[in-house]
Amino acid sequence: MDIKVSGRKTTVTDALRAHVDEKIGGALKVFDIEPMTADVVLRYEKNPSNPNPAIVEVTVRARGSVIRVAEHGADMYAAIDLAAEKVTRQLRKFKTKVVDNRQQGASASDMVSFKPVEDLADLLIPEEEDNQLVRVKEIELTPMTEEQALVQTDLLGHDFYVFESSTTGLINVVYHRKNGGYGIIKPKLETEGE
């Protein structure tokens, strides 16, 4: 199992690296899904009014799927512990939804392989610059079912997910509704004779 630990504007000590290997590595070993890699980013938020300035971001890649977790804590060790618990929950979801579906006929190779938006906060811009394009993200679209797109949205923890429908070949968007549940945006197909 490959775990890469890095720090953003902070030094990753041997003790922190050992704690990540123990907690995050332990969570990953329990599920024994191969191949699996994890990228762990440790950083501190520079806001003095924030009681939980330590942030741990974990991105796990397993069988073509991406599982992303971000947790805040009072100190880095607490944040690592919280992130390990959340990774365990997300991997459990992954295993029950994706691996069990595979046993029922859907193959893991049908799942998407893409580069997600790493940090949605990067998309926020100051109000005076809100009419300027400041970032462009490119994604690879792989055909998938609506159910597979819902799984990816849930595993990534995003509010929306863009995918290519395996039935129509058109681009669709699955999104989390504010009042609960999910919605889907599909292009209206023109019928002949209109």
pLDDT above 90 for 40: yes
- How much is the pLDDT for 134? 67
Superfamily covering domain 1-107: Ribosome hibernation promotion factor-like (3.30.160.100)
Q: How confident is the model at residue 79 (pLDDT cuts 50, 70, 90)?
A: very high
Exposure class string for 10-23: b at 16+ Cβ within 10 A, else e: eebeeebeebbeeb
- How much is the pLDDT for 148? 85
- How much is the pLDDT for 132? 64
CATH topology of domain 112-194: SHC Adaptor Protein (3.30.505)
Averaged pLDDT, 98-114? 52
In the chain, % of residues over pLDDT 90: 19
175, with CB counted inside 10 A (0-12, 13-18, 19+), is: middle
Q: How confident is the model at residue 100 (pLDDT cuts 50, 70, 90)?
A: low
- How much is the pLDDT for 150? 84
Q: How confident is the model at residue 117 (pLDDT cuts 50, 70, 90)?
A: low
Q: Mean pLDDT in the chain?
A: 78
CATH 3.30.505.50 intervals, the chain: 112-194
- How much is the pLDDT for 105? 55
- How much is the pLDDT for 181? 83
> 134-189, pLDDT tens digit by residue?
677 788 888 988 888 888 887 777 788 899 999 888 999 998 888 888 889 988 87
CATH 3.30.160.100 intervals, the chain: 1-107
pLDDT above 70 for 110: no
> 9-33, pLDDT tens digit by residue?
888 999 999 999 999 888 887 776 7
Exposure class string for 137-168: b at 16+ Cβ within 10 A, else e: eeeeebebebebbbbbbbbbebeebbbbbeee
| Of residues 26 and 123, more confidently modeled | 26
Q: What pTM was estimated for this model as a whole? A: 0.57
